Structure 1
């Protein structure tokens, strides 16, 4: 393996510090801390870039992880920062835990930069589920209020809405999208046709977790608001943020929740909630707060003792993400998905269940075999080919498949092994 110094010299690569990502106290930091924040290389040549990216992950050398959609590994540079802060905090936990306010704000500023919004609209929490639950349980409901959602939304989100229905007598209006869906007008019509004068909120999944279908959130939101500006729009962005190139502020939604341990590759158990500034005061926090009707975003981050080392390490994940660049990252992720799909799509026993149109899918793909159940395929891929994928289905039972989610560190050789496995299993 080429060592890091030689690698940076190759092709005239340089390591350039990005001061935008230096936490406030680092100017006075120890040499040890500054070292874990060492500059990352700026790489223009594509082949060198993806070689460097792969080497920055401490992933299995035997099992190809094609289930990054559930949770992604962190680059080694993120692990190093997390390990450093974990050790430091363990020296005097109570002193560090509540004395890192400026550093925490710096992380929110970096996230706001990615999201294209104000830091006063960003709360760091633990995952998408917590972010969406904050919104769902934070709203005031009247009996008969209508919530529009789909049978292809994420299971835990649907379960939450069903509990709201049972407790507050709201009405859930279920849409059913025939995945993959590749027509903006068809999607928009499905949502807008369900709106009545009782519609309280529209729930949109930005990138579907089942087959990776990207929905035109901006267009849906604009259409909904044109009918009634008072209708709130909540977006499940678990698979959108740091995966595809967009700004939350451009979507027009009122709320957006995402996990940072998926496509941003931040530490496990880190997430983010966006609340439009005008909506903060009227949204109750999920956990108790001294002023629950405050108009400050901080009320959504009050949940007791937290994993602050993980939160501070988000900044390093952002730096790694920006070193690649969202345009190159999105293009690479889509290339990996298209690579395996186009090489198995002609097999008569393979059913592809994901769009190849770039506006409707990126990294996530789905397939089934006609001659074998999804569960059996998943087991054989793992046992015989050392490939890890996962099964997915929707609430209606109409959609099922194996979800395949490569990430930026995935090697073409791993996809070739996966492709060979599909073809061989399709013969059985």
Structure 2
């Protein structure tokens, strides 16, 4: 049986494991045939987009014909439901094929790729990324991930004993630990302010940051979209506030680039780091570091001084890319990822991702035993959301969803100032079907009504475990 969106419908009512596995097996075969026997995936997406060109992005988000074609462009495993795209997004087929092609090219002629062609090709890729990101090519470095990008900044910013770095209890732990490391070694101070969730408004979030500022605050580190509940922060307002106090702003954009349609030039932040292997769907191990030109001289590379092939010291953003020999194919294939992103349309993509989140969140938040920790207002969130079941441990929910229903989710990281609220993080993607979200919602509602079965019901919430 098929629904109006042409996806295979799941059986209604209570599902058992055998029904679930039969559905996944059937869906996987169908998807595989469509992928390998159908027309070129990239051209198919372009053709589908041309047919809905007169629709607004919000209208296009609900046009299942378009997204059916986009779904065909991915070669994901349909024997499971992946709702943990926040970890890393799969590449569309056009990117995967380019990546493999570049690997063959590199291995057939290593010197030619690394030396003769690297400069010109990487320059072309960097220009396409900068154009998409809204910066100049000389303001960005292509690095391996957000962590590398922002550790470079957080270890490199000159700070004195007693200077304060302000962040929130929903910022990424590995970056917070950098500040803690400097706190221990250099005597600076980490200040973490609690974030209300779900937040009532963007003004509430600005107020939280404003209330944390003191005369010793030198740096604010904040997520564009939090990795915990998907809360979008008003970065431009925070930057304006910070700059009035002479404070520099470091933005963790791991989940914002290619999920939200924005230009970094509109944010006026000092530093921005992102992982391109997340929502841009570039190959794994590709990221972005942006900083204003005025800061480049004072921020040393994470691995110490660097030099060019002619043994001249590097002083531009290129110094952050010089980490010794590393594979070029992942970075070269960023160009295809940008092209695929633009073929869909950045705003259409943002609205589709938001629609998918709201599709399940608006249904589940009406259940008395289910709590959605992410606001659904368009300015407050996009694709990521956290959801919990009353009395259920998040690890138990996660393991139950995976072991019994092959639904991949991520255990939520609780607010470090609050041990009473926990969740699993749900992150669909463009290839996710509405039928898959229906099935996930059915499973969550059944678990809320009847409780998690053994052994998942015996999982106990442990704040110390959640901190790790």
Query: How does the TM-score come out when normalised to structure 1?
Result: 0.89
Change beyond 3 A, Cα 1:362–1:4? same
2:123 to 105, 113, 117: 105
Aligned with 2:250: secondary structure? strand
Indicate yes or no: 2:277 matched with 1:261.
yes
Change beyond 3 A, Cα 1:14–1:312? closer
1:71 to 79, 82, 88: 88
Superposition pairs for residues 20-419 of structure 1, below 5 Å? 41=47, 43=49, 44-45=51-52, 46-99=63-116, 100-228=118-246, 231-290=247-306, 295-393=315-413, 394-398=415-419, 399-419=421-441
| In 1: Cα distance, 2:332 partner to 2:179 partner | 32
* Preserved CA contact (<8 Å) 2:277 2:287: yes
| In 2: Cα distance, 1:275 partner to 1:357 partner | 30
The Cα shift of 1:4 comes to 8.5
1:275-334 CA deviation, whole Å, 9 max, x = no partner? 111111111111233469864110111111112011000000000000111110011000
- For the aligned residue pairs, the C-alpha RMSD in angstroms reads 2.1
* Preserved CA contact (<8 Å) 2:306 2:322: no
The Cα shift of 1:7 comes to 5.5
Aligned with 2:258: secondary structure? coil
| In 1: Cα distance, 2:185 partner to 2:94 partner | 46
* Preserved CA contact (<8 Å) 1:131 1:257: yes
Q: Which shifted more, 285-294 or 380-389? A: 285-294
* Preserved CA contact (<8 Å) 2:48 2:65: no
- The count of aligned residue pairs is 400
Which residue does 1:29 correspond to in 2? Answer: none
Query: How does the TM-score come out when normalised to structure 2?
Result: 0.82
* Preserved CA contact (<8 Å) 2:367 2:445: yes
| In 2: Cα distance, 1:181 partner to 1:392 partner | 17
| In 2: Cα distance, 1:153 partner to 1:237 partner | 11
Unaligned runs of 5+ in 2: 1-32, 53-62, 451-468
| In 1: Cα distance, 2:157 partner to 2:360 partner | 43
The Cα shift of 1:211 comes to 0.5
Unaligned runs of 5+ in 1: 17-38
1:197-245 CA deviation, whole Å, 9 max, x = no partner? 32211111110001100000000110111232xx210000001110011
